[in-house]
Amino acid sequence: MKNFYITTPIYYASGRLHIGSACTTCFCDSYARYKKQLGYDTRFLTGMDEHGQKVEIKAEEKGISPQEYVDILAERAKKLWKYLECREDYFVRTTDQNHIEQIQKVFEMMQENGDIYLGNYEGWYCVSCETFFTATEVGAEHVCPSCGKKVSIVSEESYFFRLSKYAKPLLDYIDSHPLFIQPESRKNEVISFIKQGLEDLSISRSSFSWGIPIKANPKHVVYVWLDALFNYLTSLGFLEDDKSLYDKYWLEGEVVHVVAKDILRFHAIFWPAFLMSINVPVNFTLFAHGWYLMMGDKMSKSKGNVIYPETLVKRYGLDSFRYYILRELPFSDDTVCTPEDYISRYNNDLVNDFGNLVSRTFSMADKYFQGHVEKEETDNPYLLDLKKTALETISLYHDYMKEFKVNKALQEINKLVSRTNKVIDETLPWTLFKEGQTKELKAVIYYLLEAIRIESVLYVPYLIETAPIIFAHLNTTKEEENLINLSFSNKNEYNVVKLEGPLFPRENDPDKAKEEIIKDMEYELSLGA
């Protein structure tokens, strides 16, 4: 059995998680489900990044300890992922004792290798992003190029990592591993940044205490990004006595890190350089997707344009939420998300196209054959074209999934659904019934059911509540729901149970729904972080 390890970034403990974070987590969960369908032994990791000055300040504002503060946020995050049916295998926290001990060992290993030295740092620092920036990056306005907040000059004693030493090894690795960073535009961005010259990286702070102390010099705590990035390995126990998970998933598996583009540099430059420093294989693929823009701008609580997953799930159900954020996934460019877009996608793709197709077909199977439909061969060109389209869809679906283009993979299923709907108009089953053409009618209904079965198998990672309902009404076996060797005419007969109601209830008043969603957004924001 092949091994597969997929990770989200660990989310910073600064407040409530919105649909941007949910997009990344649902992507990883769906991709893990896809790999499980293919027979992989999968491991899905997410968690919380809990150290740093920002956390210390937030906790102080609330009158509680930093540990109490991050405990609250970690439980909220776990509750959200459970609510979205994101089934992580491990939830890592950087305050976990096993993580802390391994990070202290990592620091010592880097120091022993000559990659860490003590010096003094002065530079522009963003507390919100826990990141230092050059004068050029912050510009004359002295604002963070990532979050737009004011930065300040920080001057203090610091340990440094010899990042400049790894410029050539990084470029060589990227050149010899063309699929290391995806999409291509992100790879080009990283190459350009490295070629501009890498400066040694400050990896400790002494102006605050909420972090992992350096054993040899406890007044220093480990820089939050060195601390955070190693979660991908500490959660596997790579420096513990039992290294079985590390061997299985990192050394012997396929590893994918999924992040948003704003933390590309940390994962594409800092992380592989850290690994090279301690002689751990750079055995991962990095997929950095774009942002979800709400109302045309990056989501921000201060701008009042944040939408939380719960708002949409409560109104339209879990499947519609997971479907939408992955169908509109910002693969390379950013994607604008609006309530009207959401409602339109829901009504068009799920209600009108797929939901209606399933309902109509199941009803016809019940009406014309009392639900019992046997396989019937045919030379009908419309049905043969449907079969051909279904087989092409399966192939294209896998091709896009290999490239992390989940949105494109879903579009291919959409096309098959549209082609299946069209077959009903082309073959006119009700006319065949009236004319007594039973054999031809049986072939039509069988081909429609086969197409729906295939579509449902492909939808398994996304429509996680709906696909099992369809399988139950089709009375399929586990083998017939299997993605491996999925093909047309796999099933000899169907015993269909008619649906009692719609799979997806229609939104009949989109304008009113949009207003209500915006009110819900305002209400949720009013509750605070």
Task: Check which CATH number belongs to the domain holding 179 and give it.
Answer: 3.40.50.620
Hunting for tokens 């209830």 — which residue is that? 505
How far is it, in rounded angstroms, from Cα 158 to Cα 479?
59
Q: Convert the pLDDT of each residue in 401-416 to its tens digit.
A: 999 999 999 999 999 9
Q: What is residue 489's predicted lDDT score, i.e. its pLDDT? A: 85
Domain tally for the chain?
2
Q: What is the pLDDT of residues 353-386, one digit of tens each?
A: 999 999 999 999 999 999 999 999 899 999 999 9
Burial of 79 (0-12, 13-18, 19+ CB in 10 A): exposed
Question: Which of these three, 252, 269, 289, is where a domain ends?
Answer: 289
67 occurs within a structural domain: yes
Average pLDDT, the chain: 93
Q: What Cα–Cα distance (Å) separates residue 335 from each residue in 20, 261, 287, 518?
A: 11, 13, 16, 19
Q: Does residue 21 sit within a domain?
A: yes
pLDDT (0 to 100) of residue 241? 96
Query: Does any domain span residue 505?
Result: no
The pLDDT tens digits of the residues spanning 10-21 come to 999 877 888 889
- Under the banding of pLDDT at 50, 70 and 90, the label for residue 490 is confident
522 pLDDT above the threshold of 80: no
Q: Is residue 506 part of a domain?
A: no
Residue 409 lies in a domain: yes
527: pLDDT strictly greater than 60: no
pLDDT of residue 503: 96
Q: Say if residue 131 is in the same domain as residue 263.
A: yes
* Same domain as 349, residue 224: no
State the amino acid at position 380 in one-letter form: N
- pLDDT tens column, 160-193: 999 999 999 999 999 999 999 999 999 999 999 9
195 and 262 within one domain: yes
Looking up residue 396, the CATH number of its domain turns out to be 1.10.730.10
Percent of the chain scoring above 90 in pLDDT: 80
pLDDT category of residue 526 using cuts at 50, 70 and 90: low
Domain that holds residue 384: 340-495
Q: What is the model's pLDDT at position 225?
A: 87
DSSP H or E run through 190: helix 184-195
Q: Is 347 among the domain residues?
A: yes
Closest residue by Cα to residue 357 from 466, 508, 503: 503
What mean pLDDT comes out for the span 226-234? Answer: 97
From 289, 324, 348, give the residue that closes a domain: 289
Least-confidence region, from 124-138, 248-262, 338-352, 459-473? 124-138
pLDDT of residue 141: 86
**How much is the pLDDT for 270?**
98
CA–CA separation, 23 vs 329, rounded Å? 8
Amino acid letter at 338? Answer: T
Mean of pLDDT values over 489-517: 92
Q: What is the pLDDT of residue 207?
A: 86
Please tell me whether residues 94 and 26 are part of one structural domain. Answer: yes
What are the pLDDT digits (tens) for 37-56? 999 999 999 999 999 988 99
**Is residue 104 within a helix (H) or strand (E), and if so which, with residue range?**
helix 97-112
State whether 228 and 104 are in the same domain: yes
Amino acid at 177: H
The sheet with strand 335-337 has its strands ordered as 297-298, 292-294, 335-337
Structural domain contains residue 311:
no
Q: Which of 289, 319, 354 is the last residue of a domain?
A: 289
Alpha-carbon Rg for the chain in angstroms: 26
Q: Which amino acid does the sequence have at 478? A: K
pTM summary value:
0.93
Please report which confidence band the pLDDT of residue 295 belongs to, taking 50, 70 and 90 as the band edges: low
In a domain, 513, yes or no: no
- pLDDT band at 302; cut points 50, 70, 90: low
Q: What is the band of 450 on the pLDDT scale with cuts at 50, 70, 90?
A: very high
Can you give the pLDDT at residue 76? Answer: 94
Q: What is the per-residue pLDDT for 338?
A: 86
Alpha helices, H only, 317-437: 318-327, 339-345, 356-369, 381-402, 406-427, 429-434
Mean pLDDT calculated for residue range 383-392: 98
Look at residue 169 in the predicted model and tell me its pLDDT: 98
> How many other CB atoms are found less than 10 A from the CB of residue 526?
8
Cβ-contact 260, 333 below 8 angstroms: no
One domain for residues 250 and 391: no
